[in-house]
Structure 1
Amino acid sequence: MKKIISRYYFFVAILLIIADQFFIRLVLHSDLAAGLSDFSYYFSDMILNFLVVLLALVAMIWSGKWQQINSRKFKWSYLFYFFLALLAFFVWNFVTFFIFPSTQNEISYQLDLPTFTGLTAFLMYFFYPVIAGPIFEEMIYRGLVMTALEKGKKWGLDVLASAALFGILHISNHGWVLTDFFVYMGGGLIMAVFFRVTKSIYWSIGLHIVDNAIAQILPLLF
């Protein structure tokens, strides 16, 4: 099995991306999920994403790709790039706020937010967007995608594919709006470049968590 995954790693990655992008949505929009409570629905979404990420982790470990992105080394230059990436996010969000309309994903989230109570509120306002979501997305769209496309690295294919798929992920469930795609692809580009520079999934996850945490906290302050 390990040899098969190593040999066909690229195709395994494609299957896992399809599962993450489309299969989970098919399940959640099926009659099976129609009768679920809000908490059960969103918790099921998180568990399905977790299973895909778990399979991606197994594929990366068995293929030897995980060892390439599993570095826990600290470098001061990485910290500098970390704050530089945060600044890039601030500039990108500032620019897109004025030139693009609010994304459908953001509008849908803001409409649903007042209906969240109890555990659902904790899950959807904090745990999923700030902790689970960034870990899941970085494992798939930086870890899996960019290691699967490392042969195209000199042309930047790993970075572009990672950013494009990240953009598609965030619009496919709420309407295919081109400006929305550019908003999320821009963020994906920043994270993909940062991941390329650090070669560590942990730095990438940390950046994503901090950026999402700031996005969740700022509306509470203003």
Structure 2
Amino acid sequence: MKKIKNIPLFLCLISFFYIVFKIINEKCIVYFESSKVYYIVDTITYLLSFFPVIFYFKKTMKENQYFFERKNLRFNNFIFYLGIMIFINFIMVNARIVYNNESKIIYNYESTTYYIITNIILSSLIAPILEEIIFRGILMNNLMKYGYKVAIITNSVLFGFYHINVNAIGRTILAGIILSYITYRYSLKYSIKLHIILNIIANLGKYLYYNDYIMIAMGIFTVVLIIIFIIGLIRKKYKEIFSIFKLNNEDRKNIIKFVKDNALYLLVILVIVISNLLFNYKLF
């Protein structure tokens, strides 16, 4: 039996098959005429897609030291990174969940207590942990052989394409770069914490938008963090993050090498992403 050449990217590919299940599930919802059935199936397929990832992560944790702390991330710096993340994602955080006419995906599920509670747990806690484990943990650790810039950019692009909502791809790629930098500079545990906080903030806006006091508080909180982001810009706190986009000749060669080494995996992922755009967004 032929050995899998790149297990981390293969595991990433398995996670991407969740999008395939999502497309199939979209077709089934018309038949079942129930968003509850859709949500249950969607949750199960999402969690199942990460089972191999969890197994591999646990098996290789000691060898790869995923949670090794290179440098302590002080609270004030953590706030600066939170500020830039909020600046990038403020539209997502404050947007209401509505039906997108350009997509068949139904965002406005039945507002049952069951759905709200389970979805908050899933999207605010479980999803950030699982996504950080696969993208910033397993995948990025494997890609470091191509250089840290290539590792950060590549896993962030894949992270962006993993998100089904086409309107969020750009924001999630940028968010992925910041989370990847935090993992590279400090530790995976900090990127997990930041990801969880961001998703909690997003869910507050998603489910509590009808509460004026909550929305006012969130508005003030967002403005404060954006001001912190601006202060961070002035103090050049994000200089190292911005430098990631400055690729030298060696970085470009490493990108080409990465593509050549993993062409088949990348091709399959590309097909899945294009299928999502075709079936759910009709962009082609």
- Conservation of the 8 A alpha-carbon contact between 2:70 and 2:185: no
1:46–1:195 Cα change, 3 Å: farther
Q: Which residue of 2 aligns with 1:161?
A: 154
| Structure number with higher helix proportion | 1
Distance 2:138 2:66 in 1: 10
- Pairwise mapping of residues 11-30 of structure 1 onto structure 2 (< 5 A)? 11-21=6-16, 23-30=17-24
> C-alpha displacement at 1:37, in angstroms?
4.5
- Conservation of the 8 A alpha-carbon contact between 1:28 and 1:41: no
Q: Which residue of 1 aligns with 2:194?
A: 207
Distance 1:114 1:151 in 2: 43
Distance 2:72 2:11 in 1: 34
> C-alpha displacement at 1:213, in angstroms?
0.8
- Conservation of the 8 A alpha-carbon contact between 1:145 and 1:162: yes
Distance 2:98 2:186 in 1: 30
One of 65, 73, 89 as aligned partner of 1:93:
89
1:74–1:196 Cα change, 3 Å: closer
- Conservation of the 8 A alpha-carbon contact between 1:68 and 1:199: no
Q: Which has the larger radius of gyration?
A: 2
Q: Which residue of 1 aligns with 2:264?
A: none
Q: Deviations over 1:3-60 (max 9, x none)?
A: x67xx4xx22222222212x22323433795438534433333333333333123223
Judge which range, 128-137 or 31-40, deviates more: 31-40
Q: Identity across aligned pairs (percent)?
A: 21
Q: Which residue of 1 aligns with 2:127?
A: 133
5+ residue gaps, structure 1, are none
Aligned residues: 200
SS at match of 1:112: coil
- Conservation of the 8 A alpha-carbon contact between 1:38 and 1:120: no
- Conservation of the 8 A alpha-carbon contact between 2:14 and 2:49: yes
- Conservation of the 8 A alpha-carbon contact between 1:27 and 1:33: no
One of 56, 59, 68 as aligned partner of 1:59:
56
Letter of the 2:57 partner, please give it: M
Letter of the 2:43 partner, please give it: M
Structure-2-length-normalised TM-score? 0.58
Structure-1-length-normalised TM-score? 0.72
1:20–1:163 Cα change, 3 Å: same
Distance 2:165 2:48 in 1: 23
Q: Which residue of 2 aligns with 1:185?
A: 173
